[in-house]
Amino acid sequence: MNKYTKRKLIEFSISTTSVLTIFIVWYVVAEMKIFPEYFIPAPASVWEAFKEIALTGYRGGTLLQHLGDSLFRVISGFILACFIAIPLGMFMGFNWKIKAVFDPIVEFYRPLPPLAYYTILVIWLGIENESKITLLFLAAFPPLSISAMSAVAAVPMERIHTARSLGAGRLQIFTHVIFPSCLPGIFTGMRVSIGFTYTTLVSSEIVAATSGIGWMVLDAGKFLRGDVMFMGIFVMGITGIILDRLIRIAEKIIIPWKGKG
Amino acid sequence: MNKYTKRKLIEFSISTTSVLTIFIVWYVVAEMKIFPEYFIPAPASVWEAFKEIALTGYRGGTLLQHLGDSLFRVISGFILACFIAIPLGMFMGFNWKIKAVFDPIVEFYRPLPPLAYYTILVIWLGIENESKITLLFLAAFPPLSISAMSAVAAVPMERIHTARSLGAGRLQIFTHVIFPSCLPGIFTGMRVSIGFTYTTLVSSEIVAATSGIGWMVLDAGKFLRGDVMFMGIFVMGITGIILDRLIRIAEKIIIPWKGKG
Amino acid sequence: GQSESSDLPGRVVIGYQAIPNGQIISKDFGWFEETAGVPVEWVQVNSGSELNTGLAAGSIDIGLSGSSGIAAGIANQVPFDVIWVHDIIGDNEALVVKEDSGITDIQSLAGKKIAVPFGATTHYHLLAALELEGVDPETVQIFDMQPPDALAAWHRGDIDGSFIWEPTLAKMLESGGEVLIYSRKLSENGYLTGDITVARKGFAEKYPDLVVKYIASEIKAVDFYNNDPEAAAEAVSRQFDIPQAEALRQMKSLVLLTGQDQLTSAYMGTSDSIGNLASVLKATADFLVSQNTIKSAPDVDVFKAALHPEYIEQALEQ
Amino acid sequence: MNLLELENISVDFTTKKGTLSAVKDVSLTIGKGDFISIVGPSGCGKSTLLNVIGGFLPPSGGTILQKGKALKGPGRERGIVFQKPALYPWLNVEQNVGFGLKMRGISKGEKQKIVLDNLKRVQLSDFAHMHSYELSGGMQQRVAIARILANDPEILLMDEPFGALDVLTREHLQDELLKIWRETHKTVILITHSVEEAIYLSTSVYVMSELPGRLIKKVETPFSTEYADRDIREVKSLPEFVSLREEVLSYIWS
Amino acid sequence: MNLLELENISVDFTTKKGTLSAVKDVSLTIGKGDFISIVGPSGCGKSTLLNVIGGFLPPSGGTILQKGKALKGPGRERGIVFQKPALYPWLNVEQNVGFGLKMRGISKGEKQKIVLDNLKRVQLSDFAHMHSYELSGGMQQRVAIARILANDPEILLMDEPFGALDVLTREHLQDELLKIWRETHKTVILITHSVEEAIYLSTSVYVMSELPGRLIKKVETPFSTEYADRDIREVKSLPEFVSLREEVLSYIWS
Ligand SMILES: Nc1ncnc2c1ncn2[C@@H]1O[C@H](COP(=O)(O)OP(=O)(O)OP(=O)(O)O)[C@@H](O)[C@H]1O
Ligand SMILES: Nc1ncnc2c1ncn2[C@@H]1O[C@H](COP(=O)(O)OP(=O)(O)OP(=O)(O)O)[C@@H](O)[C@H]1O
Ligand SMILES: [Mg+2]
Ligand SMILES: [Mg+2]
């Protein structure tokens, strides 16, 4: 067993212990019944709810269908935002005139709560996926554009100077020097963004949804189904971790040179 | 007039134009009355609402009081998060064992929507500011810890090696080398975080609030007071910009060396 | 935060909703504050689940919710006593449909898109109306929407109708809507819905006097409204920042019950003989179970045990 | 017409403690095919001057003409080797060297050939697939040199390009540079700390003063042109070479 | 007991194209007060070896003892000047030089004195308040040297410390280093590309082979000890100096 696998093993066992501790605390709190069962349901009933909903579904959709609907919304919004926010953020960092155009707009809507402007989106885009994905897109946008913009500001001047003296044009410098230099910052932004987008999922499924894991949690909350809520929260947490891991893995593969520049 | 002030002036006029364009579009859309007044109120009525609420207040509090209550919550949550998430994130980047303990927890709760777990916070912390500030704290946390963690991973090895050969201990390396090296990344994280925290404000003021700008917007929504909603959104947007600017200014002052390392 | 040592709590926290009923009138005049002898704090709650959470957390002492929320709360053993019926929902909630939607009666709802805030009384009423007419709810596309969003969807033509309350109801009626059925009608058919006040068990047991004083202020408010609706509407308009005429219009669509009304068998009944409200709540809960929204509903006795008309009786005696 | 004309170039930097005058009143005329070297004490403004010629730093005073026209910004015709090699960590050695060619849209086959030629020239053929952060300091410097040579600019601006190299590699690259210069008649401006290197390679050596940097002496050297057929070690041990070296050193030491 | 004992040290790097053996079977014994220099071709493993001695890179094979005990990680007693000066951009020159002293909790007054002394030593007194990114390459290198000297370690590990300096500054610093070495009996390991520098400063010069780096020759030099009273230029032009230089060069060239 080499050093690397050994470390991975220790890492895994520490993480497991840490998660287990939380489970035990939860179990004990639930057992003590300080709070009614629908607020802090016992692990066992959450597991029951999971089995039930995974098999027979919740209000017209199986767990997988709900999750699939939600993931489709989250990932569509996120990818859309990546394609628009990252280049735009980089342009804003690269050219102060472009920044002057978009900065006030992004900065203005950024602190706005989705709940506050969702109604306006519904007016424009209706109650179907369009408005939901747009809302998630808007949530995903700022962390991406801000990280991209900051990353541009931190690119060492020599890299750009070298490229210019090698005959690269402005666009080429942008795509071949600035963009790769910014990748570490962009990946950080993507990790923050996907988490943020996911947390906005419930807001987006507040309106006119009858499917989606976020809607399920909300709906269960309305009827005090603590077991279903907890179950839904777990599923969201775990899928969130998976999405994040995917980005981390992509980061490892795409920028092995991070920190070595 | 030197080059710098000239640039600032151009920048300002571009930004103003960009904002004005949006105002004009808004004005025209409102004038066309495609949508009822309570969805897209005219700029004039929003201005009226602003004057009225600034002077006489909205449901028991003046605009300043509402804003003050909200800012207190947002800033408390944010500062608390800065003090905990930034060091913790750095420790996590510095020591893989610490990371193994906390990473699964942060990663798990990160994608959870505040709306989904707010109930649990209320159960524990009641309906007063404690639960609200905790919610905002939890929202502010992940962008900070993730940025700090990523920033540590990007610190050039030579800086650490140099410090070790100069006799710095682990803690000293942490505070005197890693921390300053991470500042550019941390500031980016802070900018993302404050925006995120602000968007969570409305969620935090959904439960049992009778003050706060977020509550005002929500409440106005219930009574279909589009003018008040828009006004509240504007105030949120503008205060959000101000908070962000403050961080940008601090960044300029604290790390003038960004990108010059 | 109630102090355990003294006879009075440090303060009383009251949850209210944005409904133009007696509670708001008494809040405006500060009647409970006059008698309570301790600081009173008013917090706004937006739904039954929020109220239940606040009660369970011990941070709300007295609060109000729609009857579906209360039924769900009792079914889930949330520790509260039902102490007062604020209003019976009459004409302030209704199923509105677009004039051009082709919907003429409940039967023709099949295949149409209807928005309703899930978990609210109107949700219950929509399902009840369908059941009454023997329409399978599966055949109707029911969307979960809060009133502003429902109104937005209405304007876009994304929905054909909505079972909704004021002021959204009025806005829909203004823009090409017509009422298919009022809640009043469904209440008359046994599907009673209303807004109900509860007191946290721990609070009520420890400070019954305060509960009585609170009820007294509610009774005063209803009487005040019955004597002088204009002045009562004035108070509501102050609280909600809406025009007085609008407040009056909305209040008129509600049925406010006096103290004596409540003690009749149709509602709370008396402490010797609990009224019909228990069965109404039980029916509501059963209905929610059948919709798979709550897990199970207890026996009617549990609902009876949750009703406490004695506070009203004491308040009336004073 | 001269290729480059610098007239009264000055560069001031604003620092916390006031203005720092780094380059002062430098006038310099460079003709096509000239090979000039600049020597001078550490921190005297050599790199600053090169940055001005490179177009990266607008001078605070004075004018600079390229072929009679005001010089505006950097350009491909002025290839620059910076004092610190700024290699791109996401590219391997080969890709770093081929960067300029790729930017200019040179066909793959041709690019490959040029890159390999230049890697061979700097003796790094075996390291084509390594990443810049896996290279030693001297190897990085050589990649930076190969990168510029591959791009074949009209003017070469080099800031201590051979500073991190051992004697052997250094001599090899000196000869390679001379060969290229002789064959292609490029114009070269070289900053170096080795007086020997300056005399061996250039047509004229400029000595720069301490801060603020001025050109205080110009020495013409014949070795790069007149002794082209001789071996590098032979040239460097010629008595006339040694005496010219001593002469330049005496200007520096004075 | 020897200060440092390296036995059969090897270092392998894993790259995309397989394993690269950078240092192979290096055995080396260094006594207290020794001043050894290592010369060798670019990319032969010199910096790698220094990193091993510094404790930053665990060797793939072999053992390394310090005062008889297995060497574990870096330590203050082994001060290192890296090939690329890693100055801290958030500190000014003075603070960079005082960094080690601050870490060790030296009192403010004493720290100030030591810092100023060392800044003077590297001739940067006037630049105490500038930031590292406002310095020229050579100035940065000098700050890195001053930073280590200020920290007064027992062993000095220096990787081409004078590479970016002009002749004059270089000679000055060579003499300063010698002076410190003579006064404090420090142990110095110096990597350099200047054979002249190696011979002038050290007690023995090691010649390293091409990749994978081995020590192929050791040459004892008497100049740093026996000619202490003579002027640097005088020493460097002595016939015995020139002939020793030629000897070492011949090992490199062979
Ligand atoms: N960005 C800057 N801000 C302030 N001062 C600067 C800046 N860049 C350079 N200087 C100063 O200008 C002077 C000249 O620097 P320059 O880099 O041109 O020196 P140099 O001759 O190349 O030295 P070296 O041989 O050490 O590389 C130095 O004193 C340096 O401190
Ligand atoms: N991190 C690494 N990964 C892979 N290979 C490496 C790494 N670091 C160094 N090498 C390789 O090890 C060899 C020796 O490198 P080293 O830096 O020790 O050379 P050096 O003798 O110091 O050269 P120079 O005089 O140019 O500084 C080189 O071929 C280099 O490519
Ligand atoms: Mg320089
Ligand atoms: Mg090296």
Q: Is the pLDDT of residue A34 over 80?
A: no
User: What is the pLDDT at residue D109?
Assistant: 92
The closest residue, in CA terms, to atom 23 on ligand 2 is E43
The closest of D25, D22, D27, D59 to D43, measured between CA atoms, is: D22
Across the B:E interface, residue pairs with CB atoms under 8 Å apart total 69
Answer whether E15 contacts ligand 2 (Cβ < 6 A).
Answer: yes
- Using DSSP, state whether C152 is helix, strand or coil: helix
Beta strands in E78-196 (DSSP E): 78-81, 155-159, 187-191
Answer whether E45 contacts ligand 2 (Cβ < 6 A).
Answer: yes
DSSP string for residues in D31-47:
-TT-EEEEE--TTSSHH
Mean pLDDT of C30-53: 86
Task: Name which of B165, B169, B172 is nearest E78 (Cβ-Cβ).
Answer: B165
Q: Where are the domains of chain E?
A: 4-77+153-253
User: A12 CA to middle of ligand 4, Å?
Assistant: 38
Distance (Å, whole) CA B131 – CA B142:
18
Q: In D22-166, which ranges are continuous DSSP H helix?
A: 46-54, 93-97, 99-103, 108-121, 137-151
The CATH number fitting domain E4-77+153-253, selected from 3.20.20.70, 3.30.479.10, 3.30.70.2740, 3.40.50.300? 3.40.50.300
pLDDT-based confidence at C1, cuts 50/70/90?
A: very low
| Residue of chain A whose alpha carbon sits nearest to that of C51 | A222
How close, in Å, is residue B89 to chain C by CA atoms? 32
| Per-residue pLDDT tens digits for A134-175 | 999 999 999 999 899 989 988 888 899 999 999 898 899 999
Place of tokens 């610490």: B98
Mean pLDDT of E101-110: 92
The closest residue, in CA terms, to atom 28 on ligand 1 is D43
| Residue of chain D whose alpha carbon sits nearest to that of A173 | D103
Place of tokens 């039924």: C71
pLDDT-based confidence at C4, cuts 50/70/90?
A: very low
Q: Which of A165, A175, A254 to mutate to test the interface with D (most CBs of D within 10 A)?
A: A165
Distance (Å, whole) CA E200 – CA E178:
9
Q: From the CB coordinates, do chains C and D have 3 or more pairs under 8 Å? A: no
Distance (Å, whole) CA C122 – CA A222:
14
Residue type, A25: V
A192 touches chain B (CB under 8 A): yes
Distance (Å, whole) CA C37 – CA C11:
9
Q: From the CB coordinates, do chains B and A have 3 or more pairs under 8 Å? A: yes
User: D175 CA to middle of ligand 1, Å?
Assistant: 29
Lowest mean pLDDT among A197-201, B22-26, C3-7, D188-192: C3-7
Distance (Å, whole) CA C157 – CA E130:
68
Which residues lie at CB < 5 A from ion ligand 3? D 47, 83; E 136-137
Q: Measured from the CA of E139, which atom of ligand 1 is nearest?
A: 26
| Per-residue pLDDT tens digits for C143-202 | 888 888 888 888 888 899 999 988 889 889 988 899 999 998 888 888 888 899 999 998
User: What is the pLDDT at residue D156?
Assistant: 93
pLDDT by residue for chain B (261 residues), tens only, comes to 567 788 888 888 888 888 889 889 888 988 888 777 778 888 888 999 899 888 888 877 889 999 999 999 999 999 999 999 999 999 999 888 888 898 888 888 888 887 777 877 887 788 788 889 999 999 999 899 989 998 998 888 889 999 999 989 989 999 999 999 999 999 989 998 998 898 888 888 877 677 889 888 888 877 778 888 889 988 988 998 899 899 999 999 998 888 776
For chain D, percent helix, then strand, then coil, each to nearest 5? Answer: 40, 25, 35
Q: Is the pLDDT of residue A3 over 80?
A: no
Q: Structure pTM? A: 0.88
User: What is the pLDDT at residue A92?
Assistant: 92
Q: Is the pLDDT of residue E228 over 70?
A: yes
- Looking only at the bridges linking them, the beta strands covering D155-159 and D187-191 are parallel
How close, in Å, is residue C144 to chain A by CA atoms? 5
Tell me which ligand sits closest to the C-alpha of residue E170: 1
Question: Could you give the angle at the alpha carbon of A190 between the alpha carbons of A186 and A195, nearest 5°?
Answer: 155
* Residues facing residue E157 across a β-bridge: E80, E189
User: What is the pLDDT at residue A227?
Assistant: 86
pLDDT-based confidence at C96, cuts 50/70/90?
A: very high
Backbone angles phi, psi at E225, to 5 degrees: -95, -45
Does the distance separating the beta carbons of D56 and A161 come in below 8 Å?
Answer: yes
Q: Which of B157, B162, B254 to mutate to test the interface with E (most CBs of E within 10 A)?
A: B162
Write the CB contacts of B214 (distance below 8 Å, at least 6 apart in sequence): A113, A116, B70, B201, B202, B203, B204, B205, B206, B232, B236
Question: What are the angstrom distances between the C-alpha of C20 and each of A79, B122, C150?
Answer: 46, 27, 21
C72 touches chain A (CB under 8 A): yes
Does the distance separating the beta carbons of C145 and A36 come in below 8 Å?
Answer: no
Mean pLDDT of C96-110: 89
Q: Where are the domains of chain B?
A: 1-34, 40-254
The closest of D159, D242, D158 to D200, measured between CA atoms, is: D242
Q: Is the pLDDT of residue C292 over 80?
A: no
Tell me which ligand sits closest to the C-alpha of residue E143: 1
Q: Which of the other chains make 3 or more beta carbon contacts under 8 angstroms with chain B?
A: A, C, E
- Using DSSP, state whether C165 is helix, strand or coil: strand
How close, in Å, is residue B156 to chain E by CA atoms? 9
Q: Is the pLDDT of residue C2 over 50?
A: no
Question: What are the angstrom distances between the C-alpha of D187 and each of D77, D91, D152, D178?
Answer: 10, 29, 11, 11
Task: With both helix axes pointing from N to C terminus, report the angle between A129-153 and A114-125 in degrees, rounded to the nearest 10.
Answer: 120
Mean pLDDT of D220-241: 85
| Per-residue pLDDT tens digits for A200-250 | 888 888 877 778 898 888 888 777 778 888 899 889 889 988 998 999 999
| Residue-averaged pLDDT of chain A | 87
pLDDT-based confidence at D1, cuts 50/70/90?
A: low
| Per-residue pLDDT tens digits for B44-94 | 889 998 998 888 888 778 899 999 999 999 999 999 999 999 999 999 998
How much of chain E exceeds pLDDT 70, in percent?
100
User: What is the pLDDT at residue C171?
Assistant: 86
ipTM of the complex: 0.86
Residues of C in contact with A122 (CB under 8 A): 149, 152-153, 156
D188, D35 Cβ separation under 8 angstroms: yes
Backbone angles phi, psi at B20, to 5 degrees: -60, -40
pLDDT-based confidence at E1, cuts 50/70/90?
A: low
| Residue-averaged pLDDT of chain C | 87
Q: Is the pLDDT of residue D176 over 80?
A: yes
| Residue of chain E whose alpha carbon sits nearest to that of D43 | E136
User: What is the pLDDT at residue E78?
Assistant: 92
Residues of C in contact with B125 (CB under 8 A): 57
CATH 3.40.50.300 fits B40-254, yes or no: no
Task: Name which of A100, A110, A241 is nearest B11 (Cβ-Cβ).
Answer: A100
How much of chain C exceeds pLDDT 70, in percent?
98
Q: Is the pLDDT of residue D146 over 90?
A: yes
Residues of A in contact with B147 (CB under 8 A): 188, 192
How close, in Å, is residue A240 to chain B by CA atoms? 5
Mean pLDDT of D220-248: 87
Question: What is the enclosing helix (H) or strand (E) of D169?
Answer: helix D167-184
| Per-residue pLDDT tens digits for E69-87 | 888 888 888 999 998 888 9
CA quadruple E51, E54, E59, E64: dihedral sign: positive
B74, B246 Cβ separation under 8 angstroms: no
Residues of A in contact with D99 (CB under 8 A): 163, 166, 168, 176
| Per-residue pLDDT tens digits for C203-217 | 999 999 999 999 999
User: E59 CA to middle of ligand 2, Å?
Assistant: 14
Q: Which residue has better confidence, A108 or D113?
A: D113
